[in-house]
Amino acid sequence: MDTDYKSRTQKKNKDRALQRLGEQLVTLPFSQLETMGLPDELLAAIKFAHKIKSRGAQRRQLQYIGTIMRHIDPQPIENALDRIRTGNLRK
């Protein structure tokens, strides 16, 4: 039996969690994002999301950010967000 099997629901929940992490990144100022060492593609998508005014377009952009997040390790991003929340901005 394959121990790495994930149900469709588990995969969707993981994807939604990554999208919520991306939504948290969109709320940060760009100066903080630059210090986090994010991939260029993700930074560009977040920067574009800051400019979008349309609700539907913003939702689609957040979904795109979630798609990008699937291909990178989210742990360093989560650690950086925790440091920002606690006020410890040092690496």
Residue range 36-76, pLDDT digits in tens: 889 999 999 999 999 999 999 999 999 999 999 999 999 99
How far are the Cα atoms of 16, 53, 62 from residue 23, in angstroms, in the given order?
A: 10, 15, 7
DSSP structure class, residue 15: H
Confidence at residue 79, expressed as pLDDT on a 0 to 100 scale: 92
Say if residue 2's pLDDT is above 70: no
Are 28 and 16 spatial neighbours (Cβ–Cβ below 8 Å)? no
Looking at domain 9-86, which of 1.10.3720.10, 3.40.50.300, 1.10.60.30, 1.10.645.10 is its CATH number? 1.10.60.30
